[in-house]
Structure 1
Amino acid sequence: MSYTHIEKVRFGDLDAMRHLNNVVFLRYFETARIAYLRELVPSHDPAHPEADAFGLIFAECHINYRSPVHFDEEVAVVCSIGNVKRSSFRVEFEMRVGSRLAAEGYGVLVGFDYQSQQAAALPDSLKETLETEAAPAVTQ
């Protein structure tokens, strides 16, 4: 399964070369990733994780830039769940303008216990939701 979020490139999102700033790619992914997780786990509140002591922290991000994006273009950010482990999981993404691939990559989120201030195993219910949503592994 996957989730799609649309962003329209604003003038302020551009860099000196007049295309989408690399930092903004990450911001678009962040916005899509948070919306996707809120759809999967409606109780997930990234602004107040301490409310239930368990939260998720963004630990790693990889972006491969494939083509420039320009002012006023619409960017479709498609997210899906990748590898799910004991205390972490990947959110894979692609950014497209029409059929053109603009960027692709993934982010790693880690379970975090805000009371003990350390990484923690994903709760069974969350892990089950993520594994159900995860794309099946591709074999070659």
Structure 2
Amino acid sequence: MHRYTYPCPLRWADADAYGHVNNAMFLRYMEEARTRMFQEVVGATHEDGRRQNAFVVGRSVIDFRAPLYYRDAPVDVHIRVAKSSAASFELAYEISDNNLLYAEATTTIVAYNLDIGRPRRLSGPERDFLARYNKP
């Protein structure tokens, strides 16, 4: 399976008094990994181009599988493209380490033009990029 993996560091502030990582932090870990993944997309470097070729999160769902406790070692965030359409795609995540799966999640990402406030179609280079991480 083709997937992107980001070793996401845990922060002391992510945990509660018992050392348990707050479940809201999982969204942050997903965002951080997704942002790093998207840095590979060839895109506009000036502000207008970024605004016209943006991505926004339309939906997020997380299924928690085991508690994650603060530690010095990072947690792996694995991402693959579960499905795509003309103007959106769904990313599937696994947050885990070598021994345990902590969460499975999905986000629906919408290609969006911020200047006009409307969805847009995925470009050819964006579709090619997503195909690298699609199901086999």
| Same fold? TM cut 0.5 | yes
Q: Tell me which residue corresponds to 1:99.
A: 99
Runs of 4+ deviating beyond 6 Å = none
Aligned CA RMSD, in angstroms, stands at 2.0
| 1:82 corresponding residue in structure 2 | 82
Cα offset, 1:16, TM superposition: 4.4
* TM superposition shift of 1:135: 1.2
Correspondences of 1:99-138 after superposition (within 5 Å): 99-136=99-136
Q: Secondary structure at the match of 1:133?
A: coil
Structure 2 regions of 5+ residues with no counterpart? none
* Percent sequence identity over aligned pairs: 26
- Number of residue pairs matched by the alignment: 133
Give the TM-score taking structure 2 as reference length.
0.86
What is the distance in 1 between the residues matched to 2:68 and 2:125?
Answer: 38
Structure 1 letter corresponding to 2:117? Q
**Hey, what does 1:51 align to over in structure 2?**
49
- Could you give the per-residue CA deviations for residues 8-67 of structure 1, whole angstroms, max 9, x where no partner exists? 32221013443010111110110001111212x14377xx76435221111111110000
**Structure with more relative contact order (C-alpha pairs < 8 Å, separation 6 or more):** 2
Letter in 2 for 1:51: G
